[in-house]
Amino acid sequence: DAGITQSPRHKVTETGTPVTLRCHQTENHRYMYWYRQDPGHGLRLIHYSYGVKDTDKGEVSDGYSVSRSKTEDFLLTLESATSSQTSVYFCATTLGSGGSYEQYFGPGTRLTVT
Partner 1 sequence: AQSVTQLDSQVPVFEEAPVELRCNYSSSVSVYLFWYVQYPNQGLQLLLKYLSGSTLVESINGFEAEFNKSQTSFHLRKPSVHISDTAEYFCAVSDRQGGSEKLVFGKGTKLTVNP
Applying CB under 8 A, the residues found at the interface with partner 1 are 31, 33, 40-43, 45, 48, 50, 56, 58, 90, 92, 94, 96, 99-108
**Cβ atoms of 75 and 22 closer than 8 Å:** yes
CA dihedral (112, 74, 105, 38) positive or negative: positive
What is the nearest approach in angstroms of partner 1 to the Cβ of residue 48? 7
Nearest residue to 35 (alpha-carbon basis) of 24, 22, 25, 48: 48
What is the nearest approach in angstroms of partner 1 to the Cβ of residue 105? 4
Q: Distance between CA 57 and CA 41 in Å, rounded?
A: 18
What is the nearest approach in angstroms of partner 1 to the Cβ of residue 32? 11
Pick the closer one to partner 1 by CB: 36 or 79. Answer: 36
Q: Which amino acid is located at 34 in the chain?
A: W
Pick the closer one to partner 1 by CB: 85 or 103. Answer: 103
